[in-house]
Amino acid sequence: MKNMIKDAAVLFVITVAAGLILGFVYQITKEPIALAEEKAANEAYAEVFADASSFEECALADPAADPVWTEEYKAVDIEKALEAKDGAGSVLGYILTVTSHEGYGGDITFTMGIRMDGTLNGISILDISETAGLGMKAEAVLKPQFQNKNVSNFTYTKTGASSESQIDAISGATITTNAVTTAVNAGLYYFQTQLGGNAG
């Protein structure tokens, strides 16, 4: 009985100590992690809207009541919207942070910059955990295909893109291609319906 009490006490002390250490480590690393995430986000904003001088976050609208959204884009979240402004404070367009929940390996999050005339400057991938050698090629294969396109939405093909609105799918990674393409389309749709932007 005494041994059981002693073992329980030792276990309790170890648990408390581990909890305190984890809490201490979290407090130490919390700020550097937040700063690193903020730096990555700012770099992504600059990448998709290089000529903007400043970025100002704006209120998010909830598209859940839109039947098109709930039918086509229900697996996509708009995480953040920012106005991209020039040096005089005029709005050049918007930056959206978008997350698809349909990636093969989990969520895929990226930023996209859209000019007021509907031109998609491009996308910058923030977080992706797809299959190495397949879905992880999104950065190299998909990302360049969205640059400087003015279309209302995109489709993907496995036989070679033949128009501005077509994207060549990643070979062997259709799920990743579909997730990214659908999320980009969701961002464009949000821009057109919630931010007063022009359709391509």
What's the rounded Cα separation, in Å, for the pair 86 and 84?
Answer: 7
DSSP lists the bridge partners of residue 140 as: none
pLDDT for residue 172 is more than 70: yes
| Residues 81-125 pLDDT 10s | 999 999 999 999 999 999 999 998 899 999 999 999 999 999 999
What pLDDT score does 128 carry?
Answer: 87
pLDDT for residue 136 is more than 80: no
pLDDT for residue 130 is more than 80: no
Does pTM surpass 0.85? no
| Residue 2 exposure: Cα atoms within 13 Å on the Cβ side | 0
* Nearest C-alpha neighbor of 122 from the set 80, 184, 54, 75: 184
**Is residue 97 within 8 Å of residue 111, measured between CB atoms?**
yes
* Nearest C-alpha neighbor of 98 from the set 126, 62, 68: 126
What pLDDT score does 196 carry?
Answer: 82
**Is residue 153 within 8 Å of residue 189, measured between CB atoms?**
yes
What pLDDT score does 64 carry?
Answer: 81
What's the rounded Cα separation, in Å, for the pair 105 and 75?
Answer: 14
pLDDT for residue 32 is more than 90: no
**Is residue 80 within 8 Å of residue 60, measured between CB atoms?**
yes
Query: Which range, of 3-7, 91-95, 150-154, averages the lowest pLDDT?
Result: 3-7
**CB proximity list for 51: less than 8 A, separation 6 or greater:** 86, 92
What pLDDT score does 27 carry?
Answer: 65
Exposed, middle or buried by CB within 10 Å (0-12, 13-18, 19+), for 21?
A: exposed
pLDDT for residue 30 is more than 60: no
